[in-house]
Structure 1
Amino acid sequence: MVPKLRIAVVGGGIGGLAAALALTRKDHRVRVFEQAPELRESGVGMHLGPNGSRLLERWGLGERLRALGVRPTGMEVRDWAHGTTLVRQPMGDEWLAEFGAPYYTIHRADLHTMLAESLPSGVVRPGHRLERFTETGSGVRLEFAGGVRAEADVLIGADGAHSVVRRTLAGPDTAVFSGQSAFRGIVARDQVPALPGDTLLVWAGADARMLVYPVRGGEFLTFVAVVPDPRWRLESWTASGELDELAARFDGWNLDVKSLVAAVRETRRWALYDREPLARWSSGAVTLLGDAAHPMLPHHGQGVSQAVEDAAVLAHCLDAPSDAPSTPAGRRRIAAVLEAYEGARRPHTTRVQLGSRGGGSQRLRPDEDGGESTGTMSSLVQDVSWIQRHDAEAALPRIP
């Protein structure tokens, strides 16, 4: 019988909870240490590609995804000045047939809650801010603020773009400001009845873009407004944005966009930073997952799906037969399977990470007449089709 592992996951966001779910399904003893005093997710909507949803469905979350998420019927590029639809790409059942799993737009809090409620009681430990960790001859010792300590056989850093675990493993990184920031928020659709509740919308101006998509059954619309601004440099999901500045950025755009902006009551603003892919994720019995391993620009909408893929592959690798985890042979085995996990995932996530720099709606620009070509839309979809088609569990590494 395979000795089950004591696994510490640092970070209780979507990536950390996905890892915990994948690992508890393999009967490992998992604890998720979250620094916030209570487990909750803020934010607005997000994209869950077929490459992520197929795994969550296998983990038993398909019914709840269908209840809480929205499957957009199509994606439309509209003229920024006049609002007319320039091109429409069908999604819905066509993408289901093409990629083998649904594409969802879903509120971050809904997915976060879904994962948390799927975990056994006692797995998540809020109020634990990691300060340092040390690998010993028999495991990993974690030290938290306030003097609390814990021991584990394996440590997974799922603590986001500002990861304490990554900084210890790989040293400080250099975050490169993209020159852009994103206003984000959510509005009730009945405040903008002219906008559909089943479609992903993109308006692309010369240097700014507005993306809108439905969540919570189409009763609400998430907006993401990407604008150039060399002054706004705060990389935070929760930093407040100014409504007057948002309105000024889209003054002169079409009536639908201006009506949407006028309906916004609260917005957050997130400066967009890029980082070079890491040369390594793992050392001994410590590894990284999700944004801690591969923080990426949001233009492919793949942050969450890549974290879910990480979780599936990591759970597979850690379920390989081993000696007792506290023995020298067991320690070597853990290091080897974490290297196999990294070897399987890092080339793939590096390609996604680098591709996100110029992909997605970044490709959309008005032509001389203010319109968009179908070829541009086609290349936008092609940018992500190989990502959406990927099945992480069909490409699991062989563990010798």
Structure 2
Amino acid sequence: MAPTGTSNGGAHAPASNAAPSALADQDSQLPILIVGSGSTGLALAQGLRKAGVKCTVFERRVEQARERDWNMGLHWGAPVLKTLMPDEWWTRIQSLQVDPYVPTKEQDTLSFIQGRTGEPMAAFTFGPFYRLRRSKLRGLLSHHLHIEYNKRLTDITYADDGSSVTAHFTDGTSSAGRMLVGADGARSATRNCLLGPKLGAIHRIPYAATFVQMRFTKEQALFLRSFHPLYLASAHPENRFAFFGMHDVADSNDPTTWTFFYYISWHSSLEEQDATADWTDTQRLAQQKEFAKSFCDPWKSAYEWTPDDAPVWYLGLTDWDPGLEGHRWDNHGGLVTMVGDAVHPMTYQRGQGLNHSITDAGKLRDAIVKISEGGDRGPLVAAFEEEMITRAGDEVRTGTANTMLLHDWERVMQSAVFQKGLKKNH
């Protein structure tokens, strides 16, 4: 689902509950520049719109471009997302879920099984838990925003008097704003501009996964979903981790319209990742099918029933720790900062990424509103960054350690998933 903003139009009218003081002077001020139209950038833009603060979103992809879709877990970050949206939009959250026909429970359970035998290993209760499709969330959050497409950030410059920041793009255009926020994902161009290509580069770690999204026959779909209606995880004695769940339920009464999402991840050295960089989808899937032979159902049958020529999505795992020495950027007195995966990309097995990213958006929205009301920009942005780096940097480290443990059978019961479930780090 492509965003609905246009590349040549102005921002739509702010939400009716926007702050009057901010509305009064928004037209006289430069906008906030948000680089990246992922879930985090759009959530921040909606929060600013709701507060009456003018902003422009820049997206490197062309409008209507088809993008890979995946789903994400939202739990402790849900109350923040609610504050960023127009009040009436929260009633639509159910429609964004992988199965909009299954009501969200106040408490839900993630089951964890032994990958070879299927025996239960653990069950974690938490909630409310929303399993959201990224495309649907972005589609909703794109409404009424000023989004400019095909804008790849190449440089950032700053006014000598500290009053403005300018984003420069590969097409030769530029845009000035009163603040720039990088929300452009794990391989952030903003981060590279602020720290350079070496310090800003994504950190590769020796684990990989290949993801499959597939529909099946009615009988196959009913069998696969009988293990859990939404999601199931496993650790395998051969030092592999696996996940199985729903991605889309187009028609609850027609199992042939259900799309399942599943993967097996494994320890993969950087040398192996480089040596297999040009593998085809067929080769990636063949490797997964070989792994799945020693797995229990639903993985065993799902991979057997997956056609050999099915498209897949391969990913070498990465992170970037904003708390590491040398990773602190110059925010130029609060003129530039980052949020979400641009500043704390993390592994996904603990399901924390979206929650931290939405929390970033909420806290930065609060800081920008205070600045709009006359607050001192430098200290407010610095305080935002300190909290974010402490909170999310800790999760980056916990997440990577957790990934390592989940792929080491002898240590798997020490994993943060088993010790903490999906609860927020404190």
> What's the TM-score once normalised by structure 2's chain length?
0.76
User: Please, which of 324, 328, 343 is the counterpart of residue 280 of structure 1?
Assistant: 328
The share of aligned pairs that are identical, in percent, is 20
Does residue 216 of the first structure (1) align with residue 248 of the second (2)? yes
Root mean square deviation, CA, Å:
3.1
Q: Structure 1 residue aligned with 2:385, among 342, 348, 351?
A: 342
The secondary structure found in structure 2 opposite 1:319 is: helix
The 1:88–1:345 alpha-carbon spacing in structure 2 relative to 1, beyond 3 Å, is: closer
Measured after TM superposition, the shift of residue 378 of structure 1 is 8.9
Distance 1:277 1:253, change over 3 A: same
Is the 2:215–2:259 Cα contact (8 Å) retained in structure 1?
A: yes
CA contact (8 A) 2:346 2:396 kept: yes
Local SS of the residue matching 1:28? coil
> 1:226 maps to what in 2?
265
Equivalent residues of 2:402, 2:415 under 8 A apart: no
Matched, 1:150 2:200: no
Question: Which of 178, 188, 204 is matched with 2:235 structurally?
Answer: 204
Q: Which 5+ residue runs of structure 1 have no aligned equivalent?
A: 97-101, 325-329, 391-400
Cα distance in 2, alignment partners of residues 55 and 323 from structure 1: 21
Task: Find the aligned partners of 1:204 and 1:383 in 2 and give their Cα distance.
Answer: 14
Structure showing greater relative contact order (alpha-carbon pairs closer than 8 Å, 6 or more residues apart): 1
The answer to whether the Cα contact below 8 Å between 1:232 and 1:271 also exists between their aligned partners in 2 is yes
The answer (yes or no) to whether the contact 2:115–2:235 under 8 Å persists in 1 is yes
1:198, CA displacement in angstroms?
2.1
Do the aligned residues in 2 keep the contact of 1:55 with 1:309 (CA within 8 Å)? yes
Question: Within 2, Cα distance between the matches of 1:157 and 1:203?
Answer: 35
Indicate the residue corresponding to 1:127 in structure 2.
150
* Aligned partner letter, 2:194: L
Q: Does the aligned pair in 2 maintain the 1:187–1:263 contact within 8 Å?
A: no
Aligned pairs for 1:83-98 within 5 A: 83-89=118-124, 91=125, 95-96=126-127
CA distance in 2, matches of 1:379, 1:152: 42
Q: 1:321 to 1:130 in 2, by over 3 A?
A: closer
State whether residues 133 and 141 of structure 1, in contact with CA within 8 Å, keep that contact through their aligned partners in structure 2.
yes
Q: Structure 2 CA distance, aligned partners of 1:367 and 1:135?
A: 52
TM-score (norm 1): 0.80
Deviation string for 1:329-351 (max 9, x for gaps)?
A: x8xx3233211211222211111
Q: Is the 8 A contact 1:247 1:262 kept in 2?
A: yes
Say which SS state the counterpart of residue 156 (structure 1) adopts: strand
Q: Secondary structure at the match of 1:357?
A: helix
Q: Could you tell which deviates more after superposition, 226-235 or 135-144?
A: 226-235
Distance in 2, Cα, partners of 1:323 & 1:44 = 38
Residue 129 of structure 1 and its aligned partner are, at CA, apart by 1.2
Tell me if the contact between 2:244 and 2:298 (Cα under 8 Å) persists in the aligned partners.
no
Which residue identity is paired with 2:116?
A
2:420 matched residue in structure 1: 382
- The change in CA–CA distance for 1:108 and 1:133 in structure 2 (over 3 A counts) is same
Shift of 1:307: 1.2
Q: 2:302 aligns with which of 247, 252, 260?
A: 260
Q: Which has the higher mean CA deviation after the structures are superposed, 283-292 or 227-236? A: 227-236
Deviations 1:298-351 (CA, angstroms, capped at 9, x unpaired): 222222221111110001001115588xxxxx8xx3233211211222211111
Cα shift at 1:77: 1.9
Distance 2:409 2:80 in 1: 37
- Deviations along 1:90-128, one digit per CA (max 9) or x if unpaired, are x4xxx33xxxxx2122222122212113xx15x111111
Contact kept? 2:156, 2:167, Cα under 8 Å: yes
* Secondary structure of the corresponding residue to residue 320 of structure 1: helix
Cα gap change, 1:198 to 1:364, in 2 (>3 Å)? farther
Residues 371, 377 of structure 2: 8 Å contact kept: no
> Residue 292 of structure 2 corresponds to which residue in structure 1?
250
Counterparts of 1:280 and 1:347, CA distance in 2:
12
Other-structure match for 2:18: none
Counterpart of 1:139 in structure 2 is 164
Match of 1:386, SS state, is coil
Structure 1 counterpart SS, 2:222: coil
Q: Superposition pairs for residues 12-51 of structure 1, below 5 Å?
A: 12-38=37-63, 42-51=67-76
2:208 aligns with one of 151, 169, 181: 181
Q: CA deviation at 1:377?
A: 8.4
